[in-house]
């Protein structure tokens, strides 16, 4: 049995920055067949719905990493039990997300006063997905990670 573990905004784009307006048309194409676990949205829980767009380097602080680890632990327990029962786990992220990117994340913005800055999309996982990978690895679980693009 294959179980898909998906970033929250892939099933609920209203939690994305700006209520998901610029992403909604694309994200409504995401369909899941079979069992699915919807992860919580760490950015919404941590920063709220009125947050600004951020990049991975802005979130890469000890408190946010600890928050992400604690947020994921009950899901790790559930995933571990599913693996023990023979499930094949696939984790699907949101491309370019600073938290939930599985293959592509965003970097840039030096901080300071509010201003418009360019950022770049780089290969790698977002903060939440790095913490997910580390926790599952500690448990001997090595799922496939991929982005929904």
Per-residue model confidence as pLDDT tens digits over 22-55:
554 444 557 778 999 999 999 999 999 988 888 9
Number of domains in the chain: 1
Phi, psi at residue 58, to the nearest 5°?
-75, -35
pLDDT over threshold 80, residue 113: no
CB 66 within 8 A of CB 122: no
| pLDDT score, position 83 | 98
Residues 129-141: tens digit of each pLDDT: 999 999 999 999 9
| C-beta neighbour count of 34 within 10 angstroms | 9
The answer, as to whether pTM is greater than 0.85, is yes
β-bridge partners, 119: 108
| C-beta neighbour count of 128 within 10 angstroms | 30
Is the torsion defined by CA of 68, 71, 63, 54 positive or negative?
positive
């Amino acid at each position: 049995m294959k179980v898909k573990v998906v970033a929250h905004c892939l099933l609920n784009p209203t939690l994305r920055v700006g209520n998901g307006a610029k992403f909604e048309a694309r994200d409504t194409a995401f369909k899941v067949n079979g069992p699915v676990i919807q992860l919580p949205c760490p950015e919404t829980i941590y920063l709220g719905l009125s947050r600004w767009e951020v990049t991975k380097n802005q979130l890469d602080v000890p408190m946010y990493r600890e928050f992400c680890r604690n947020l994921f632990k009950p899901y790790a327990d559930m995933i571990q039990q599913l693996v023990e029962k023979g499930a094949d786990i696939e984790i699907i992220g949101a491309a370019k997300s600073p938290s939930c990117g599985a293959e592509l994340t965003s970097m840039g913005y030096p901080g300071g006063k509010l201003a418009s800055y360019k950022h770049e999309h780089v290969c790698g996982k977002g903060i939440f997905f790095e913490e997910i990978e580390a926790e599952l690895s500690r448990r001997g679980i090595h799922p496939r990670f991929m982005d929904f693009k």
